[in-house]
Chain A
Amino acid sequence: MRYSMACARWLAAPTVLIAIAIYQVYLVRTANLTPWKGGGFGMFSTDQNGANRTVRIYLVNPDHGVLRQLPVAAPRELAAQVSDLRQAPTTGAARALARTLAVLPWREPAELEALTAGGPTGMVTQMMAQRDGTASSEQLTKLMTSPRAWVDKLPSTARLDAGRPIVFDHVVVEVWDVRYQADGPTLRARRLLDAASESLPRLAGGGA
Protein backbone atom coordinates (compact mmCIF):
# COMPACT_ATOMS: atom_id res chain seq x y z
CA MET A 1 0.00 0.00 0.00
CA ARG A 2 2.80 2.39 1.01
CA TYR A 3 4.73 1.40 -2.11
CA SER A 4 1.76 2.05 -4.41
CA MET A 5 1.18 5.45 -2.76
CA ALA A 6 4.83 6.37 -3.32
CA CYS A 7 4.58 5.24 -6.95
CA ALA A 8 1.40 7.27 -7.46
CA ARG A 9 3.15 10.36 -6.07
CA TRP A 10 6.10 10.22 -8.39
CA LEU A 11 4.12 9.15 -11.42
CA ALA A 12 1.29 11.68 -11.06
CA ALA A 13 2.91 14.63 -12.90
CA PRO A 14 4.22 12.60 -15.89
CA THR A 15 0.83 10.85 -16.16
CA VAL A 16 -1.01 14.19 -16.30
CA LEU A 17 1.45 15.39 -18.97
CA ILE A 18 0.75 12.31 -21.13
CA ALA A 19 -3.04 12.54 -20.63
CA ILE A 20 -3.21 16.23 -21.60
CA ALA A 21 -0.84 15.77 -24.55
CA ILE A 22 -2.98 12.91 -25.92
CA TYR A 23 -6.15 14.96 -25.42
CA GLN A 24 -4.47 17.82 -27.31
CA VAL A 25 -3.85 15.49 -30.27
CA TYR A 26 -7.56 14.64 -30.20
CA LEU A 27 -8.47 18.36 -30.20
CA VAL A 28 -6.09 19.06 -33.09
CA ARG A 29 -7.70 16.26 -35.12
CA THR A 30 -11.32 17.12 -34.27
CA ALA A 31 -11.57 20.81 -33.30
CA ASN A 32 -8.99 22.61 -35.50
CA LEU A 33 -6.83 23.38 -32.44
CA THR A 34 -3.39 24.49 -33.61
CA PRO A 35 -0.68 21.93 -32.75
CA TRP A 36 1.28 24.81 -31.16
CA LYS A 37 -1.14 25.16 -28.26
CA GLY A 38 -3.02 23.06 -25.74
CA GLY A 39 -0.15 21.35 -23.89
CA GLY A 40 0.85 18.88 -26.62
CA PHE A 41 4.32 20.33 -27.32
CA GLY A 42 3.70 20.72 -31.07
CA MET A 43 5.23 24.19 -31.21
CA PHE A 44 7.66 24.91 -34.08
CA SER A 45 6.48 21.80 -35.95
CA THR A 46 4.07 23.32 -38.46
CA ASP A 47 2.91 26.62 -39.91
CA GLN A 48 -0.63 25.85 -38.67
CA ASN A 49 -0.15 28.40 -35.94
CA GLY A 50 -2.59 30.85 -34.38
CA ALA A 51 -0.38 33.72 -35.58
CA ASN A 52 -0.96 32.48 -39.15
CA ARG A 53 -4.70 32.47 -38.72
CA THR A 54 -6.87 35.49 -39.03
CA VAL A 55 -10.46 36.24 -38.11
CA ARG A 56 -12.18 38.29 -40.83
CA ILE A 57 -15.38 40.06 -39.84
CA TYR A 58 -17.94 41.60 -42.19
CA LEU A 59 -21.04 43.69 -41.54
CA VAL A 60 -23.37 42.51 -44.30
CA ASN A 61 -26.19 44.52 -45.78
CA PRO A 62 -28.39 43.53 -48.75
CA ASP A 63 -28.59 46.44 -51.15
CA HIS A 64 -30.88 46.04 -54.20
CA GLY A 65 -30.16 42.33 -54.44
CA VAL A 66 -26.40 42.73 -53.83
CA LEU A 67 -24.82 41.72 -50.51
CA ARG A 68 -22.48 44.53 -49.45
CA GLN A 69 -19.81 43.43 -47.00
CA LEU A 70 -17.97 45.97 -44.87
CA PRO A 71 -14.78 44.45 -43.40
CA VAL A 72 -14.31 45.54 -39.79
CA ALA A 73 -11.90 44.79 -36.94
CA ALA A 74 -13.20 43.34 -33.68
CA PRO A 75 -13.00 45.76 -30.74
CA ARG A 76 -10.07 45.28 -28.36
CA GLU A 77 -12.49 44.21 -25.61
CA LEU A 78 -13.18 40.99 -27.55
CA ALA A 79 -9.47 40.21 -28.12
CA ALA A 80 -9.53 37.09 -25.92
CA GLN A 81 -12.54 35.67 -27.76
CA VAL A 82 -10.92 36.39 -31.14
CA SER A 83 -7.64 34.86 -29.98
CA ASP A 84 -9.40 31.67 -28.80
CA LEU A 85 -11.16 31.47 -32.16
CA ARG A 86 -7.82 31.74 -33.98
CA GLN A 87 -6.22 28.99 -31.91
CA ALA A 88 -9.18 26.58 -31.86
CA PRO A 89 -11.75 27.66 -34.45
CA THR A 90 -15.14 26.00 -34.37
CA THR A 91 -18.31 26.98 -36.20
CA GLY A 92 -20.10 27.35 -32.86
CA ALA A 93 -17.51 29.78 -31.49
CA ALA A 94 -17.51 31.76 -34.77
CA ARG A 95 -21.30 32.02 -34.66
CA ALA A 96 -21.20 33.11 -31.01
CA LEU A 97 -18.74 35.88 -31.93
CA ALA A 98 -20.90 36.91 -34.91
CA ARG A 99 -23.94 37.17 -32.64
CA THR A 100 -22.03 39.25 -30.08
CA LEU A 101 -20.78 41.60 -32.80
CA ALA A 102 -24.24 41.88 -34.39
CA VAL A 103 -25.82 43.44 -31.32
CA LEU A 104 -23.07 46.03 -30.82
CA PRO A 105 -23.59 49.67 -31.83
CA TRP A 106 -21.31 49.91 -34.90
CA ARG A 107 -20.45 53.42 -36.03
CA GLU A 108 -18.63 55.05 -38.94
CA PRO A 109 -17.34 58.63 -39.39
CA ALA A 110 -20.21 61.08 -39.83
CA GLU A 111 -18.02 63.00 -42.31
CA LEU A 112 -18.18 60.06 -44.70
CA GLU A 113 -21.66 61.00 -45.86
CA ALA A 114 -20.80 64.63 -46.56
CA LEU A 115 -17.62 63.69 -48.36
CA THR A 116 -19.23 61.01 -50.50
CA ALA A 117 -22.53 62.87 -51.13
CA GLY A 118 -21.68 63.82 -54.72
CA GLY A 119 -20.36 60.39 -55.64
CA PRO A 120 -16.77 59.84 -56.86
CA THR A 121 -16.74 63.04 -58.90
CA GLY A 122 -17.96 65.14 -55.99
CA MET A 123 -15.37 63.54 -53.73
CA VAL A 124 -12.51 64.37 -56.10
CA THR A 125 -13.79 67.95 -56.47
CA GLN A 126 -13.92 68.34 -52.68
CA MET A 127 -10.44 66.88 -52.24
CA MET A 128 -9.03 69.21 -54.90
CA ALA A 129 -10.70 72.19 -53.20
CA GLN A 130 -9.19 71.14 -49.86
CA ARG A 131 -5.77 70.73 -51.46
CA ASP A 132 -6.00 74.22 -53.00
CA GLY A 133 -7.10 75.68 -49.69
CA THR A 134 -10.48 76.88 -50.98
CA ALA A 135 -12.30 74.48 -48.62
CA SER A 136 -11.59 73.36 -45.09
CA SER A 137 -9.55 70.15 -44.80
CA GLU A 138 -11.01 69.34 -41.39
CA GLN A 139 -13.47 66.74 -42.71
CA LEU A 140 -10.83 64.93 -44.71
CA THR A 141 -8.31 64.98 -41.83
CA LYS A 142 -10.89 63.55 -39.45
CA LEU A 143 -11.78 60.86 -41.94
CA MET A 144 -8.17 59.91 -42.46
CA THR A 145 -7.47 59.65 -38.73
CA SER A 146 -10.63 57.72 -37.77
CA PRO A 147 -11.07 53.98 -38.23
CA ARG A 148 -13.47 52.94 -41.01
CA ALA A 149 -15.81 51.46 -38.39
CA TRP A 150 -15.88 51.16 -34.62
CA VAL A 151 -18.14 50.15 -31.76
CA ASP A 152 -19.53 53.01 -29.73
CA LYS A 153 -19.26 53.37 -25.93
CA LEU A 154 -16.35 51.00 -25.33
CA PRO A 155 -13.23 51.97 -23.34
CA SER A 156 -11.07 51.29 -26.41
CA THR A 157 -13.14 53.67 -28.58
CA ALA A 158 -13.78 56.37 -25.98
CA ARG A 159 -11.54 58.81 -27.93
CA LEU A 160 -13.84 58.58 -30.96
CA ASP A 161 -17.04 60.58 -31.29
CA ALA A 162 -20.54 59.12 -31.70
CA GLY A 163 -20.22 58.95 -35.52
CA ARG A 164 -23.23 57.70 -37.38
CA PRO A 165 -24.82 54.25 -37.05
CA ILE A 166 -23.94 51.64 -39.65
CA VAL A 167 -26.99 49.91 -41.04
CA PHE A 168 -26.43 46.22 -41.56
CA ASP A 169 -28.45 43.05 -41.63
CA HIS A 170 -26.12 40.46 -40.13
CA VAL A 171 -22.49 39.75 -39.28
CA VAL A 172 -20.28 37.16 -40.96
CA VAL A 173 -17.20 35.81 -39.18
CA GLU A 174 -14.60 33.87 -41.17
CA VAL A 175 -11.44 32.15 -39.95
CA TRP A 176 -8.61 32.04 -42.48
CA ASP A 177 -5.42 30.04 -42.35
CA VAL A 178 -2.21 31.17 -44.09
CA ARG A 179 0.01 28.34 -45.32
CA TYR A 180 3.52 28.47 -46.75
CA GLN A 181 4.28 26.95 -50.15
CA ALA A 182 7.94 26.46 -50.93
CA ASP A 183 7.28 26.79 -54.69
CA GLY A 184 7.54 30.47 -55.39
CA PRO A 185 7.75 30.78 -52.39
CA THR A 186 4.25 32.01 -51.64
CA LEU A 187 1.86 32.41 -48.77
CA ARG A 188 -1.68 31.31 -49.52
CA ALA A 189 -4.71 32.07 -47.36
CA ARG A 190 -7.61 29.61 -47.31
CA ARG A 191 -10.87 29.85 -45.46
CA LEU A 192 -11.07 27.32 -42.64
CA LEU A 193 -14.67 28.04 -41.67
CA ASP A 194 -17.29 30.75 -41.56
CA ALA A 195 -20.47 31.47 -39.65
CA ALA A 196 -23.12 34.18 -39.72
CA SER A 197 -25.32 35.72 -37.09
CA GLU A 198 -29.07 35.68 -37.58
CA SER A 199 -30.55 38.61 -39.47
CA LEU A 200 -31.08 41.35 -36.90
CA PRO A 201 -32.77 44.22 -38.75
CA ARG A 202 -34.31 45.67 -35.62
CA LEU A 203 -30.94 45.94 -33.94
CA ALA A 204 -29.06 47.14 -37.00
CA GLY A 205 -27.19 50.30 -36.15
CA GLY A 206 -26.86 49.26 -32.53
CA GLY A 207 -30.26 50.38 -31.31
CA ALA A 208 -29.96 53.79 -32.89
Chain B
Amino acid sequence: MSVDVLDRACAGGAGLRDRARRLIAPDSALSLGLMLTLALVVLYGPSAWYVRTPVVMAALVGWLWPGALRSPLLWLMLTTILAAGVYVQRFTIDNHQYLMVYWCGAIALTIDSADPAALKRNARLLVGLAFAFAAAWKWSSPEFVRGDFLEYEMLCDPRFAGFTELVTGLSKHALEGNRIAMQGLTGPIATQTVATLTTVPAVAVIADAMTWSTLLLESWIAIAFLLPRAGVLGRYRDVPLLCFLLTTYSVATVPGFAYLLLVMGFVQCERRRWWIPAGYLATVLIQQVFLLPLRRIAGALFL
Protein backbone atom coordinates (compact mmCIF):
# COMPACT_ATOMS: atom_id res chain seq x y z
CA MET B 1 0.00 0.00 0.00
CA SER B 2 1.24 3.45 -0.92
CA VAL B 3 0.80 4.98 2.53
CA ASP B 4 3.12 2.27 3.88
CA VAL B 5 5.86 3.64 1.66
CA LEU B 6 5.46 7.04 3.29
CA ASP B 7 5.35 5.46 6.75
CA ARG B 8 8.60 3.66 6.06
CA ALA B 9 10.15 6.82 4.66
CA CYS B 10 9.36 8.75 7.82
CA ALA B 11 10.03 5.95 10.32
CA GLY B 12 13.24 5.25 12.23
CA GLY B 13 15.48 7.36 14.32
CA ALA B 14 17.28 9.14 11.47
CA GLY B 15 17.63 12.92 11.42
CA LEU B 16 15.26 15.36 9.73
CA ARG B 17 17.42 15.65 6.60
CA ASP B 18 17.59 11.87 6.19
CA ARG B 19 13.83 11.53 6.60
CA ALA B 20 13.28 14.29 4.04
CA ARG B 21 15.60 12.46 1.61
CA ARG B 22 13.62 9.24 2.06
CA LEU B 23 10.33 11.09 1.63
CA ILE B 24 11.39 12.45 -1.74
CA ALA B 25 13.07 9.24 -2.93
CA PRO B 26 11.47 7.91 -6.17
CA ASP B 27 9.45 5.08 -4.55
CA SER B 28 7.70 7.34 -2.02
CA ALA B 29 7.68 10.53 -4.15
CA LEU B 30 5.04 9.23 -6.55
CA SER B 31 2.70 8.25 -3.71
CA LEU B 32 3.31 11.62 -2.11
CA GLY B 33 2.55 13.38 -5.41
CA LEU B 34 -0.71 11.43 -5.76
CA MET B 35 -1.77 12.19 -2.21
CA LEU B 36 -0.98 15.88 -2.69
CA THR B 37 -3.13 15.77 -5.84
CA LEU B 38 -6.04 14.33 -3.85
CA ALA B 39 -5.64 17.14 -1.33
CA LEU B 40 -5.53 19.59 -4.24
CA VAL B 41 -8.81 18.45 -5.80
CA VAL B 42 -10.54 18.51 -2.41
CA LEU B 43 -9.22 21.95 -1.42
CA TYR B 44 -9.24 23.75 -4.75
CA GLY B 45 -11.49 21.81 -7.13
CA PRO B 46 -14.76 23.32 -8.43
CA SER B 47 -16.95 24.35 -5.50
CA ALA B 48 -20.33 23.31 -6.98
CA TRP B 49 -21.99 20.67 -4.76
CA TYR B 50 -22.37 18.20 -7.62
CA VAL B 51 -18.58 18.20 -8.03
CA ARG B 52 -17.40 18.65 -4.45
CA THR B 53 -19.38 15.78 -2.91
CA PRO B 54 -18.24 13.02 -5.31
CA VAL B 55 -14.69 14.44 -5.37
CA VAL B 56 -14.43 14.31 -1.56
CA MET B 57 -15.82 10.75 -1.58
CA ALA B 58 -13.33 9.63 -4.26
CA ALA B 59 -10.45 11.31 -2.42
CA LEU B 60 -11.37 9.57 0.83
CA VAL B 61 -11.41 6.22 -1.00
CA GLY B 62 -7.98 7.07 -2.43
CA TRP B 63 -6.56 7.87 0.99
CA LEU B 64 -8.14 5.03 2.95
CA TRP B 65 -8.71 2.02 0.65
CA PRO B 66 -5.63 -0.20 0.20
CA GLY B 67 -4.26 0.12 -3.33
CA ALA B 68 -6.86 2.68 -4.49
CA LEU B 69 -4.32 5.49 -4.73
CA ARG B 70 -2.68 3.79 -7.70
CA SER B 71 -5.88 2.59 -9.32
CA PRO B 72 -6.51 4.04 -12.81
CA LEU B 73 -10.24 3.63 -12.14
CA LEU B 74 -10.18 6.07 -9.22
CA TRP B 75 -8.33 8.68 -11.27
CA LEU B 76 -10.58 8.14 -14.28
CA MET B 77 -13.58 8.72 -12.04
CA LEU B 78 -12.05 11.91 -10.62
CA THR B 79 -11.19 13.14 -14.13
CA THR B 80 -14.76 12.56 -15.30
CA ILE B 81 -16.30 14.36 -12.30
CA LEU B 82 -13.93 17.33 -12.58
CA ALA B 83 -14.36 17.51 -16.38
CA ALA B 84 -18.15 17.57 -15.99
CA GLY B 85 -17.84 20.42 -13.44
CA VAL B 86 -15.56 22.38 -15.76
CA TYR B 87 -17.83 21.83 -18.76
CA VAL B 88 -20.89 23.21 -16.94
CA GLN B 89 -18.97 26.40 -16.07
CA ARG B 90 -16.65 26.42 -19.09
CA PHE B 91 -16.88 30.20 -19.70
CA THR B 92 -16.59 31.28 -16.07
CA ILE B 93 -14.30 28.77 -14.36
CA ASP B 94 -10.58 29.53 -13.83
CA ASN B 95 -7.92 28.03 -16.08
CA HIS B 96 -6.31 25.96 -13.32
CA GLN B 97 -9.54 23.93 -13.11
CA TYR B 98 -8.97 22.88 -16.73
CA LEU B 99 -5.34 22.07 -15.90
CA MET B 100 -6.49 19.99 -12.92
CA VAL B 101 -8.64 17.88 -15.26
CA TYR B 102 -5.69 17.31 -17.62
CA TRP B 103 -3.46 16.37 -14.70
CA CYS B 104 -5.93 13.85 -13.23
CA GLY B 105 -6.45 12.48 -16.75
CA ALA B 106 -2.70 12.09 -17.19
CA ILE B 107 -2.51 10.18 -13.89
CA ALA B 108 -5.40 7.92 -14.95
CA LEU B 109 -3.72 7.09 -18.26
CA THR B 110 -0.18 6.54 -17.01
CA ILE B 111 -0.37 5.31 -13.42
CA ASP B 112 -0.23 1.62 -14.41
CA SER B 113 2.03 2.25 -17.40
CA ALA B 114 5.09 0.06 -17.96
CA ASP B 115 7.05 3.28 -18.48
CA PRO B 116 7.66 4.81 -15.04
CA ALA B 117 8.66 8.14 -16.61
CA ALA B 118 5.35 8.61 -18.44
CA LEU B 119 3.67 10.57 -15.63
CA LYS B 120 6.76 12.72 -15.09
CA ARG B 121 6.80 13.55 -18.80
CA ASN B 122 3.11 14.50 -18.66
CA ALA B 123 3.71 16.77 -15.67
CA ARG B 124 6.62 18.46 -17.47
CA LEU B 125 4.65 18.97 -20.69
CA LEU B 126 1.53 20.25 -18.94
CA VAL B 127 3.53 22.84 -16.98
CA GLY B 128 5.47 23.82 -20.12
CA LEU B 129 2.37 24.15 -22.28
CA ALA B 130 0.40 26.11 -19.67
CA PHE B 131 3.26 28.61 -19.42
CA ALA B 132 3.75 28.68 -23.21
CA PHE B 133 0.13 29.73 -23.75
CA ALA B 134 0.26 32.16 -20.80
CA ALA B 135 3.42 33.78 -22.17
CA ALA B 136 2.02 33.88 -25.73
CA TRP B 137 -1.11 35.71 -24.52
CA LYS B 138 1.03 38.25 -22.68
CA TRP B 139 3.46 38.85 -25.57
CA SER B 140 0.51 39.32 -27.96
CA SER B 141 -1.36 41.73 -25.67
CA PRO B 142 -0.26 45.35 -26.43
CA GLU B 143 -1.58 46.65 -23.10
CA PHE B 144 0.47 44.05 -21.23
CA VAL B 145 3.72 44.73 -23.11
CA ARG B 146 3.24 48.51 -22.62
CA GLY B 147 2.93 47.93 -18.87
CA ASP B 148 -0.59 49.38 -18.79
CA PHE B 149 -2.24 46.17 -17.63
CA LEU B 150 -0.17 45.71 -14.47
CA GLU B 151 -0.46 49.45 -13.81
CA TYR B 152 -4.23 49.01 -13.91
CA GLU B 153 -4.05 45.93 -11.65
CA MET B 154 -1.97 47.84 -9.11
CA LEU B 155 -4.47 50.69 -9.08
CA CYS B 156 -7.77 48.79 -9.11
CA ASP B 157 -7.37 45.09 -8.20
CA PRO B 158 -7.94 44.53 -4.46
CA ARG B 159 -5.49 41.57 -4.59
CA PHE B 160 -2.68 44.03 -5.40
CA ALA B 161 -3.80 46.72 -2.93
CA GLY B 162 -1.47 45.78 -0.04
CA PHE B 163 1.49 45.43 -2.41
CA THR B 164 0.78 48.75 -4.18
CA GLU B 165 0.43 50.58 -0.88
CA LEU B 166 3.67 49.09 0.41
CA VAL B 167 5.94 49.65 -2.61
CA THR B 168 4.56 52.86 -4.14
CA GLY B 169 3.29 54.80 -1.16
CA LEU B 170 -0.12 55.33 -2.78
CA SER B 171 -2.52 55.75 0.09
CA LYS B 172 -5.18 53.25 1.10
CA HIS B 173 -7.84 55.93 0.60
CA ALA B 174 -6.67 56.62 -2.96
CA LEU B 175 -6.81 52.90 -3.76
CA GLU B 176 -10.28 52.65 -2.26
CA GLY B 177 -11.30 55.67 -4.34
CA ASN B 178 -10.04 53.90 -7.48
CA ARG B 179 -12.06 50.79 -6.66
CA ILE B 180 -15.18 52.89 -6.04
CA ALA B 181 -14.61 54.61 -9.41
CA MET B 182 -14.39 51.16 -11.01
CA GLN B 183 -17.62 50.06 -9.32
CA GLY B 184 -19.30 53.20 -10.66
CA LEU B 185 -18.70 51.81 -14.14
CA THR B 186 -19.35 48.11 -13.52
CA GLY B 187 -22.13 48.11 -10.88
CA PRO B 188 -25.46 46.46 -11.78
CA ILE B 189 -27.23 49.76 -12.49
CA ALA B 190 -24.17 51.76 -13.57
CA THR B 191 -24.77 54.59 -16.02
CA GLN B 192 -21.37 56.35 -16.04
CA THR B 193 -18.92 55.92 -18.93
CA VAL B 194 -15.70 57.58 -17.69
CA ALA B 195 -13.85 57.65 -14.36
CA THR B 196 -10.50 59.16 -13.42
CA LEU B 197 -8.07 57.23 -11.21
CA THR B 198 -5.51 58.43 -8.69
CA THR B 199 -1.91 57.32 -9.14
CA VAL B 200 1.70 58.23 -8.33
CA PRO B 201 4.74 58.02 -10.70
CA ALA B 202 6.16 54.98 -8.87
CA VAL B 203 3.21 52.86 -10.01
CA ALA B 204 4.22 53.08 -13.69
CA VAL B 205 7.89 52.35 -12.89
CA ILE B 206 7.08 49.25 -10.81
CA ALA B 207 4.45 48.07 -13.29
CA ASP B 208 7.07 48.22 -16.07
CA ALA B 209 9.56 46.23 -13.99
CA MET B 210 6.91 43.62 -13.14
CA THR B 211 5.80 43.42 -16.76
CA TRP B 212 9.24 42.57 -18.09
CA SER B 213 10.15 40.22 -15.26
CA THR B 214 6.85 38.35 -15.80
CA LEU B 215 7.36 38.12 -19.56
CA LEU B 216 10.91 36.83 -19.18
CA LEU B 217 10.18 34.43 -16.32
CA GLU B 218 7.11 32.85 -17.95
CA SER B 219 8.89 32.48 -21.30
CA TRP B 220 11.90 30.95 -19.52
CA ILE B 221 9.69 28.41 -17.72
CA ALA B 222 7.85 27.50 -20.95
CA ILE B 223 11.08 26.93 -22.88
CA ALA B 224 12.81 25.10 -20.03
CA PHE B 225 9.91 22.69 -19.48
CA LEU B 226 9.33 22.00 -23.17
CA LEU B 227 13.00 21.46 -24.02
CA PRO B 228 14.69 18.11 -23.33
CA ARG B 229 16.50 17.94 -20.01
CA ALA B 230 19.93 17.72 -21.67
CA GLY B 231 20.57 21.49 -21.98
CA VAL B 232 21.31 23.94 -19.20
CA LEU B 233 17.80 25.44 -19.41
CA GLY B 234 16.24 22.00 -19.12
CA ARG B 235 18.50 20.82 -16.31
CA TYR B 236 17.68 23.77 -14.07
CA ARG B 237 14.03 24.15 -15.10
CA ASP B 238 12.78 23.93 -11.53
CA VAL B 239 14.61 27.09 -10.48
CA PRO B 240 12.49 29.56 -12.52
CA LEU B 241 9.28 27.71 -11.61
CA LEU B 242 10.06 27.93 -7.90
CA CYS B 243 11.02 31.61 -8.32
CA PHE B 244 7.72 32.25 -10.11
CA LEU B 245 5.72 30.50 -7.40
CA LEU B 246 7.47 32.35 -4.59
CA THR B 247 7.26 35.80 -6.18
CA THR B 248 4.13 36.00 -8.34
CA TYR B 249 1.83 34.21 -5.95
CA SER B 250 2.99 36.27 -2.99
CA VAL B 251 1.35 39.26 -4.74
CA ALA B 252 -1.45 37.75 -6.84
CA THR B 253 -2.62 34.94 -4.60
CA VAL B 254 -4.26 32.19 -6.67
CA PRO B 255 -3.68 29.26 -4.29
CA GLY B 256 -5.29 26.57 -6.49
CA PHE B 257 -3.04 27.35 -9.45
CA ALA B 258 0.06 27.62 -7.26
CA TYR B 259 -0.66 24.30 -5.54
CA LEU B 260 -1.30 22.51 -8.84
CA LEU B 261 1.96 23.79 -10.35
CA LEU B 262 3.79 22.72 -7.20
CA VAL B 263 2.38 19.18 -7.35
CA MET B 264 3.23 18.77 -11.04
CA GLY B 265 6.64 20.34 -10.46
CA PHE B 266 7.29 17.94 -7.58
CA VAL B 267 6.29 14.87 -9.62
CA GLN B 268 8.42 15.74 -12.67
CA CYS B 269 11.60 16.96 -10.94
CA GLU B 270 14.91 15.11 -10.73
CA ARG B 271 15.68 13.44 -7.40
CA ARG B 272 19.46 13.69 -7.69
CA ARG B 273 19.52 17.19 -6.25
CA TRP B 274 17.50 16.65 -3.05
CA TRP B 275 16.90 20.36 -2.50
CA ILE B 276 14.71 20.62 -5.60
CA PRO B 277 11.87 18.25 -4.52
CA ALA B 278 12.36 19.49 -0.94
CA GLY B 279 12.01 23.04 -2.30
CA TYR B 280 8.68 22.16 -3.92
CA LEU B 281 7.39 20.63 -0.67
CA ALA B 282 8.54 23.63 1.36
CA THR B 283 6.85 25.98 -1.14
CA VAL B 284 3.56 24.10 -0.67
CA LEU B 285 3.70 25.22 2.96
CA ILE B 286 4.94 28.73 2.17
CA GLN B 287 2.01 29.25 -0.22
CA GLN B 288 -0.35 28.84 2.73
CA VAL B 289 1.51 31.61 4.58
CA PHE B 290 0.80 33.99 1.65
CA LEU B 291 -2.91 33.47 2.31
CA LEU B 292 -2.69 34.76 5.87
CA PRO B 293 -3.89 38.34 6.47
CA LEU B 294 -0.25 39.33 7.05
CA ARG B 295 -0.83 43.09 7.14
CA ARG B 296 -3.61 42.71 9.71
CA ILE B 297 -1.46 40.36 11.83
CA ALA B 298 1.53 42.73 11.62
CA GLY B 299 -0.74 45.64 12.52
CA ALA B 300 -2.11 43.79 15.55
CA LEU B 301 1.39 42.81 16.70
CA PHE B 302 3.28 46.06 16.20
CA LEU B 303 0.72 48.88 16.44
Contact = CB atoms under 8 A, between A and B. Distances in A.
B197 A45 contact: no
Contacts of B204: 182
Interface in A105-155: 148
Contacts, number: 169
B95 A40 contact: yes
Given A71-B189, A182-B146, A18 B129 contact: yes
Interface in B157-197: 181-182, 185-197
A186 B102 contact: no
A109 to B, nearest CB: 15
Contacts of A50: 92
Contacts of B181: 187
A45 B137 contact: yes
B95 A47 contact: no
A35 B148 CA distance: 16
Interface of A: 6, 9-10, 12-14, 16-18, 20-21, 33, 35-47, 50-56, 71-74, 80, 83-84, 87-88, 148, 176, 178, 180-182, 184-190
Given A45-B149, A84-B92, A40 B133 contact: yes
Contacts of A44: 138, 149, 153, 252
Interface stretch (B4-12, B119-127, B228-236): B119-127
Contacts of B99: 17
A47 B141 CA distance: 10
B20 interface: no
Given A13-B105, A41-B133, A42-B137, A6 B113 contact: yes
B87 to A, nearest CB: 11
A194 to B, nearest CB: 14
Contacts of B94: 37, 43
Contacts of B147: 182
A40 to B, nearest CB: 6
A10 B109 contact: yes
Contact of B110 (A10, A46, A74): A10
Contacts of A182: 146-148, 151, 204
B84 to A, nearest CB: 15
Given A13-B106, A178-B185, A45 B138 contact: yes
Contacts of B115: 6, 10
B42 interface: no
A83 B92 contact: yes
Contacts of B122: 10, 13-14
Nearest to A179: B143
Nearest to A184: B196
Nearest to A188: B194
Given A43-B94, A56-B190, A178-B186, A16 B113 contact: no
B98 interface: yes
23 contacts: A12-B106, A12-B109, A13-B103, A13-B109, A16-B102, A17-B99, A20-B98, A21-B129, A21-B133, A39-B86, A40-B133, A41-B133, A45-B134, A45-B144, A47-B152, A72-B189, A73-B189, A87-B91, A180-B151, A181-B148, A185-B196, A185-B197, A187-B195
Nearest to B184: A187
Nearest to B130: A41
Instruction: With a 10 A CB-CB cut-off, give which of B105, B129, B152, B199 has the most chain A CB atoms.
Output: B152
Nearest to B86: A39
Nearest to A74: B188
B91 A84 contact: yes
Contacts of A53: 186
Given A14-B129, A37-B93, A88-B91, A54 B118 contact: no
B45 to A, nearest CB: 15
| Among all A-B residue pairs, the 10 with the closest Cβ atoms | A73-B188, A42-B137, A180-B152, A13-B106, A39-B98, A41-B133, A45-B137, A71-B189, A54-B186, A14-B125
B92 A87 contact: yes
A182 B147 CA distance: 9
Given A17-B99, A187-B181, A42 B133 contact: yes
A9 B109 contact: yes
Contacts of A180: 143, 148-149, 151-152, 156
B192 A189 contact: yes
Interface string B47-75: 00000000000000000000000000000
